[in-house]
Amino acid sequence: MLREGTTAVIRREDYCAPAFWIDTVDLTFDLDPVKTRVLNKMTVRRNPSEPVQALRLDGEELNLSRVMVNGQGTSFKIDGNQLVLENLPQGNDAFELEIFSTCNPKKNTQLSGLYVSQSSFFTQCEAQGFRRITYFLDRPDVMAIYTVTLRADKQAYPVLLSNGNLIEQGNLQDGKHFTKWVDPHKKPAYLFALVAGNLVCREQRITARSGKEHLLQVYVRSGDLYKTDHAMHSLMASIAWDEARFSLSLDLERFMIVATSDFNMGAMENKGLNIFNTKYVLASPSTASDTDYANIESVVGHEYFHNWTGNRITCRDWFQLSLKEGLTVFRDQEFSQDLAGTSSARAVKRIEDVRVLRTVQFAEDAGPMAHPVRPDSYIEINNFYTVTIYEKGAEVVRMMQTLVGREGFAKGMKLYFERHDGQAVTCDDFAQCIADANPTSALSQHLDGFKRWYTQAGTPHVHAHGHYDADAQRYTLLVKQSCSPTPSQLIKQAFVIPVELGLIAKDGSELLAYQLRVITEPQHTWVFEGITHEPVPSLLRGFSAPVILETDLNEDQWLTLMAHDSDAFNRWEAAQRLCLQSAIRAIQQDTPPQQVLSDALLQAMRVVLRHPQLDAAFKDLVLTMPSETYMAEQLSVVDPLRIHQTRENMHTQIAMQLKEDWIWAFENHNTAGTYEPDAVSSGRRALKSLALTYLCLADANANKSTWHQKALHAYKHANNMTDRSNALSALVNCGADCEQEALQHFHSTYQKEELVLDKWFALQAGAADRDGQGIHRVRKLMNHADFNLHNPNRARSLISTFCHANQSAFHRADAAGYVFWAERVIEIDGFNHQVAARLARALDRWRKLAEPYRSSAHEAIQRVAASNQLSNDVLEVVLRALEE
């Protein structure tokens, strides 16, 4: 379903190796904001495995000046966005190809390729940005050795950086200077990077286990240097962890991180020169929250770990994207869990990761953009940097580790690097290495079936029904699997699903402490002998597979798991199930009741809250209700306002009936002294914040203001951003009379802090729509002097928060939210396709909406689809949403 003239569908089955290889690339840049000159000298040779054909180089928005082969001018033609060279030397000998072109970085609002941000030059080449810098075979399986020379005005751009090792620098005439960089490792074009600007640097020298010294550098704008300490420590921790866990060492003399506020993504793992969104570098106690600190640690780790899983070994084609991203997300998750320290803190991190997966990725798997971890086709590859590729891909890798064990997985990783270092490979190659290193494992025995996780879209359902024979002391568990049809995949074959489990008696004693079973067929019968009491099954411990579990457990059995399960994940899951079931029952009634939660569940919550041994962060997670988005995914027909009202009723009930317990929690979870973002302190702050939120809500429902004033006092006297923003959030979410006073104070205090202002915009965009004016407040905020639609962070903080995360304000009977969405998608697509496409996905699940929302959403999507000059990024999203 494509418009005439749009880009054709790219299919995995059509992959062919390149007709030419590029062995070396020598780039010289004369940097100028309006006209940057790029001299590209390449050593090229034919691929003897492919038929003789013309060389077709990709290029976009370039001004071509000359093309030379072996020092002589040659004929060429331009075919769309490709430079075609037909008169090339025959045979397999290498030849020199020289291309001189110019580009205009200042006009590059796509933030892809070479662009200017706040008077500095940056690049973003993944997935296909290098073709906006010079003509090239812009595909990941073409790997070359790069030498880069940068020349620029020294006063304007005193810092000139590129990949690899700095081998030469000096002054030139006319106030200019140069640097020359060599990356000794082969890499694809998407890992190229350069930075030029007036930046300052934090440096740290380290000594690796091998005894080799390395220089670590973090570059930021002047004035932000004091906020780089945590990023540097996170980088040092990442390097040490990868050496200890996988024996992978830093392979360059230096490793650099550079931060910019204009960036479409979180960060980019360019070889030796990572370019980051400032959001994932800058942190100080007064400007960054606990979540910010944790995210910086995770993202710094993620990009560093790509040095081996993504850079040294990269993906053969973009369909294999999860080869590097899924594996590296798994590695950064393991890194964060290991750094968390205690088993409880590790469990909290695991729960947080799964909560994202189930809320966002499960919805993607059930929607129009559903695709396998290894997609079969795409129109625009940028649309497939998704939670399926990243988070579900990480779960596939985690299941491999579960099936072969932690040591077995390390052996598989070692074999992977022995076989494929310096190559561009596939997901199958990785899976084969893990299996070959563990030949007797369940993974090796069922490898073909396991690979269906790469080829089949959708979230499998596991149905488990148990029967206990008291006389025989036998427990029998009937386990079935199924998977609903997804676009282009109507029939699914059985997945290989590892199930970690235990059996618990009603009094909490363990009848079976731990066992790993593996589902390989549509149906299994598992028999457990010697079970002395009727058990409650604890299935999918640690969320051992990304599936939806359906059981016949009743409320008493879920309460048993919530109170006694030794597996922290399943203890949390039991609470979520009980709350979710209560919510769905209430939503399906003609009039949602005020009392949604049972007395037994409220008492169970009280026990968790007061439990002396449980971690504060774990308590916070247990007592946080499932999100409205997650609730919506459990329903076949979605009334967003009914869901919102039901969840609000749940909050009110918890606030009122546990008020004395919340007072206890607030008063007994202080974190006195110097701010530290460690897991224990962060957990205490999180629980105290939840208590304050519920207490402010209780006052609002009782027409009191005692806790509103205490929240205002907590806001004004906080010594860190976590406590301050949490107190402000509590005031905004309950609609306190002093809400505007606090918001104005926050803005005036942090007016010059870009990332803190993002929080200010996001808090208002996500606030509950109590008076029906939410859409009007967002439109008004778009006219605020500090709002900049062209800055991705700012646009996401206001517009994406409103459209993706504020269900009660976005979904309106008058369709005002959908009209706003359509306007913004079209407007942003005019200058930044990637940001627009991500915003476009806010209505992925429009078909589930009840009327009148469904028809209004449909009309809004059609309006976007009918827009002239729509990018392929947005076009693919809206067309797939409209497909029957």
Tokens found for residue 4: 């005439």
Phi-psi region of 405 (alpha: psi -120 to 50; beta: other; left: phi over 0): left
| 303 belongs to the catalytic site | yes
Quote the CA–CA distance of 738 and 731 in Å, as a whole number: 7
- 3-state class (DSSP) for residue 408: helix
For 546-560, give the DSSP string.
S-EEEE---HHHHHH
Helix (H) or strand (E) holding 185: strand 176-188
Tokens found for residue 406: 């932690």
Instruction: Indicate the angle between helix axes 640-657 and 568-587, nearest 10 degrees.
Output: 120
How many CB atoms neighbour CB 730 within 10 A? 28
The CA-based dihedral angle spanning residues 344, 349, 351, 357, taken in that order and rounded to the nearest 10 degrees: -170
**Sheet of 510-519, strands arranged across:** 510-519, 497-504, 536-538
Quote the CA–CA distance of 703 and 717 in Å, as a whole number: 25
Exactly one of 60, 269, 303, 876 is catalytic; which is it? 303
Residues 6+ apart with CB under 8 A from 312: 185, 251, 417, 421, 422
C-alpha distances (whole Å) from 614 to each of 79, 539, 547, 572, 727 are 65, 21, 27, 12, 24
Residue with token string 């959001």: 279
Quote the CA–CA distance of 56 and 51 in Å, as a whole number: 14
Residues 6+ apart with CB under 8 A from 157: 31, 120, 121, 196, 197, 198
- 3-state class (DSSP) for residue 36: strand
Helix (H) or strand (E) holding 577: helix 568-587
Is the C-alpha dihedral spanning 53, 57, 63, 67 positive or negative?
A: negative
- CA angle, residues 151, 154, 155, in degrees to nearest 5: 150
C-alpha distances (whole Å) from 856 to each of 29, 182, 814 are 51, 56, 8
For 804-848, give the DSSP string.
HH-HHHHS-TT-HHHHHHHHHHHHHHTT-HHHHHHHHGGGTTGGG
Residues 6+ apart with CB under 8 A from 678: none
Quote the CA–CA distance of 136 and 270 in Å, as a whole number: 17
The gap from C-alpha 819 to its chain's centroid, in whole angstroms, comes to 28
C-alpha distances (whole Å) from 89 to each of 51, 74, 85, 86 are 14, 11, 11, 9
C-alpha distances (whole Å) from 80 to each of 3, 60, 61, 77, 223 are 17, 9, 11, 10, 45
Q: What are phi and psi of 506, to 5 degrees?
A: -65, -25
Quote the CA–CA distance of 290 and 348 in Å, as a whole number: 14
**Sheet of 159-162, strands arranged across:** 113-117, 120-124, 194-197, 159-162
Q: Are 683 and 677 in contact (CB under 8 A)?
A: no
Tokens found for residue 389: 């590729």
In the chain, the amino acid numbered 725 is S
Q: Are 504 and 476 in contact (CB under 8 A)?
A: no
Distinct helix (H) and strand (E) counts, the chain: 32, 31
Residues 6+ apart with CB under 8 A from 379: 2, 6, 7, 8, 9, 10, 872, 875, 876
Q: Which residues are designated catalytic?
A: 303
